[in-house]
Amino acid sequence: MADAEILLRVEGLSVLFPGESGPLHAIDDISFEVRRGETLGIVGESGSGKSMTALSLMQLLPATGRMISGSIRFMPEAGKSVDLARLDEREMRPYRGRELGMIFQEPMSSLNPVFRCGPQVDEVTRIHLGYSREKARAHTLELLRKVQLPDPERMYRAFPHQLSGGQKQRVMIAMAMAAGPKILIADEPTTALDVTVQKAILDLMAGLRKETGAAVIFITHDLGVVAEIADRVLVMYRGKIVEEGSVKEIFSNPRHPYTQGLLACRPPLDKRLRRLPTVEDFLKRDKEEPGIENVKTVLSRVEVSREESRKRREELMKKEPLLRVEGLKTWFPRKKNMLGRTLSWVKAVDDVSLELFPGETLGLVGESGSGKTTLGRSILRLQTHTAGTVHYGDKNIFELSEEEMRKMRTRMQIIFQDPYSSLNPRMSIGQAISEPMAVHHIVNDKRKRKERCIELLERVGMKAEHYHRYPHEFSGGQRQRVCIARALSVNPEFIVCDESVSALDVSVQARVLNLLLELREEFGLSYIFISHDLSVVRFMSDRIAVMKNGKIVECGAADEIYEHPEHAYTQELIAAIPKIEL
């Protein structure tokens, strides 16, 4: 390859962090190149070294991290080259923002909450390009239009908390592009965004790359996203690059078992599976019988036939409904007059009716703001409703007293989206799981409660020695398993899973989804499974209800909804799902 095509060359890069059991190689002797005008995808799970690679390029490593070897050679034009790894903080400053722009994973923590969005973008051009206040403002407004934000003037004046997640991410893209960098580094820019917002962000970045000619380094754990945007792919595992190639090569013929596992653990769009393969399945298989199966073969072994799905659904619907929701409304005041009278309402849930059968999983899908979470919370009486009824068995839960409702809580549980914020950081996980049993007098003996707690921990894939540890000592996937164990501790019949896997790596997500299905069969559970990801909902659900603006616009068998969507909104959601062609 001619050097003229290469914009960035990384050679032998290693980054070390101190650890209790010895030094940790966050990045272990990696080498790669970025060509002018291309999009390079870097894929891997949390802890694989993706983000550390990006931070190394920007020389923004945490204070405890240390680059122990390697070079990062930036070649902005023919005959000019600089090793970014050898620059000190003062020398590096002109390159950040001007030559290398970065979109961070979490825009809320990357934008300053006390400053308006527009001036934060202005700062980049004023520092790096020397623009006047008026010229910087005009340039920022043009950028906000380019990233397709509605009403750029209002967005310019808005504070970060006044914008949605997708809007904040667009402001971050505008900021990263403000000084016209030659390389744009995007670190998980679409994680936990709705699929439609994700598609808009991906299309936007592809358009900006084409318009400006910038190279893009796109970091993600989702191979489906990489398939949509990248030209070449690096797959990282435990700090090393285990596979590299064009998108077509990686997706049609993945050679490393880790890559095969990442491809297989995403719910497929063209078939229904009994369980999702996991990365561990492929790594274990490769160790025992190397190279005997490809991804398609593994998926075919766990495929569920259309007839099997139909028979299961028919058997479920022969029973009396466990849950009946009729005309449920949950409205919030939007605007009040001086006398406190409500002038307009936010109709979060607007006249919703549905049924859930014993042992069934009903998927609830829609974008952020569609009313999914409010519906789930209203059903459990965690949110005050405006009108309608919810019958659980023969009881209208809205007519129950506080004491009667407290007893009902043992039958109805919820698993929240963010396991960290739903666990008390001052309580060990043993205490967190045991507390509901004590409160509801399910197991009154302290020793037996501990035995039951350890039994539940082991059932969800944790260990007995985890009993005394605290939430901060676990990964996101492990914390979610703790929340599942806590929900099971009161022997419920019905669980609302509220975006319970949306922020997890695809491989961790696969393990949690498999666990939920196993528990459904083992304990006879019924789920309302809430998600913005239709491929995940289809894998989990017997039936799917699609929500938009507080209403259910379509409801039916999961396979039928996916293959023959009738409503335009459902068609839009399906079209936005990243496609992987194996």
Range 114-125 burial, b when 16+ CB lie within 10 A, else e = eebbbbbbbbbb
CA distance 342 to 107: 34
Query: Residue 98, SS3?
Result: coil
Residue 293 pLDDT level (bands cut at 50, 70, 90): low
Instruction: Tell me if 122 is assigned to some domain.
Output: yes
pLDDT of residue 392: 96
Higher pLDDT, 286 or 447: 447
How far is the C-alpha of 520 from the C-alpha of 513, rounded, in Å?
A: 11
Closest CA to 449 of 412, 486, 496, 423: 486
| Collapsed DSSP state (helix, strand, coil) of residue 193 | coil
Q: Based on the fold, state whether residues 244 and 286 are members of the same structural domain.
A: no
Quick one: how far is CA 457 from the chain centroid?
24
| Neighbouring C-alpha atoms within 13 Å toward the C-beta of 131 | 19
Choose one of 134, 164, 180: the last residue of a domain: 180
% of the chain residues with pLDDT over 70: 97
What pLDDT is stored for residue 3 in this prediction?
62
419 close to 480: Cβ distance less than 8 angstroms: yes
User: Would the pLDDT of 354 be above 80?
Assistant: yes
Decide if 213 is inside a domain.
Answer: yes
Exposure pattern of 204-215 as b/e (b: 16+ CB <10 Å)? bbeebbeeeebb
The answer on 320 and 176 residing in a single domain is: no
**Cβ–Cβ under 8 Å, residues 496 and 325:** no
Cα angle vertex 225, ends 533, 206, to 5°? 120
Cβ contacts of residue 301 below 8 Å, gap of 6+? none
**Residue 107 pLDDT more than 80?**
no
**What is the number of H-type helices and E-type strands within the chain?**
23, 22
Q: Is residue 489 part of a domain?
A: no
Is the pLDDT score of 166 beyond 90? no
Predicted confidence at residue 148, as pLDDT, reads: 82
Are residues 163 and 207 located together in one domain of the fold? no
Residue 198 lies in a domain: yes
Q: Which residues contact 96 (CB under 8 A, 6 or more apart)?
A: 58, 59, 60, 102
The confidence score (pLDDT) of residue 192 equals 63
Cα dihedral sign, 122-127-130-133: positive
17's CB contacts (< 8 A; 6+ apart) are 23, 24, 26, 62, 64, 65, 66
Beta-bridge partner residues of 71 = 11
DSSP letter for each residue of 21-68: TS-EEEEEEEEEEEETT-EEEEE--TTSSHHHHHHHHTT---TT-EEE
Q: 219 with 203, same domain?
A: yes
Say whether pLDDT at 335 is over 80.
yes
Q: Is residue 427 part of a domain?
A: no
Q: Residues 329, 375: one domain?
A: yes
Q: Which of 300-309, 343-352, 358-367 has the lowest mean pLDDT?
A: 300-309
165 and 61 share one domain: no
* Nearest partner of 192 among 164, 218, 212, judged by Cα: 164
Q: Does residue 403 share a domain with residue 369?
A: yes
Q: What is the mean pLDDT of residues 441-459?
A: 93
Same domain, yes or no, for 189 and 60?
yes
Q: Is residue 59 part of a domain?
A: yes
Domain count for the chain, please give it. 4
Residue range 368-424, pLDDT digits in tens: 888 999 999 999 999 999 999 999 999 999 999 999 999 999 999 999 877 888 899
Examine residue 470 and state whether it is found in any structural domain, yes or no: no
Burial of residue 47 (CB within 10 Å: 0-12, 13-18, 19+) is middle
Residues 173 and 126 in one domain: yes
pLDDT tens digits, 115-158: 999 999 999 999 999 999 999 999 999 999 988 888 999 999 99
**What range does the domain containing 359 cover?**
306-411+539-577
As a whole number of angstroms, the distance between CA 49 and CA 26 comes to 6
Q: From CA 582, how far away is CA 580, in angstroms rounded?
A: 6
372 and 315 in a common domain: yes
Domain of 239, CATH number, reads 3.40.50.300
According to DSSP H, which parts of 253-305 are helical?
A: 257-264, 279-288, 295-301
State pLDDT tens for residues 234-290.
999 999 999 999 999 998 889 999 998 888 888 888 888 999 988 888 887 766 665
- Convert 370-412 into a string of H (helix), E (strand) and C (coil): CCHHHHHHHHCCCCCCCEEEEEECCEEHHHCCHHHHHHHCCCE
Dump pLDDT digits (tens) for 428-444.
999 999 999 999 999 88
3-class SS of residue 150: coil
> What is the rounded CA–CA span in Å between residue 226 and residue 217?
11
Name the domain boundary from 165, 180, 195.
180
Per-residue pLDDT tens over the stretch 180-207: 999 999 998 887 677 887 888 888 888 8
Distance of CA 446 to the CA centre of its chain: 38
What are residue 24's DSSP bridge partners? 17
Do 315 and 186 share a domain, yes or no?
no
Please report the pLDDT score of residue 231 as a whole number.
94
- Between the alpha carbon of residue 476 and those of residues 51, 396, 404, 425, 483, the distances in Å are 17, 36, 34, 14, 11
Tell me whether residue 423 is in a domain.
Answer: no
Same domain, 112 and 67: no
Q: Which tens digit of pLDDT belongs to each residue from 519-554?
A: 999 999 999 999 988 889 999 999 999 999 999 999
List pLDDT tens digits, range 492-522.
Answer: 999 999 988 877 788 888 989 999 999 999 9
Q: What mean pLDDT value characterizes the chain?
A: 90
Angle in degrees, CA 207, 103, 176, rounded to 5? 65
Question: Cα(409)–Cα(407) distance, rounded to whole angstroms?
Answer: 5
Q: Pick from 180, 201, 221: which residue ends a domain?
A: 180
Cα distance between residue 386 and residue 393, in whole Å: 22
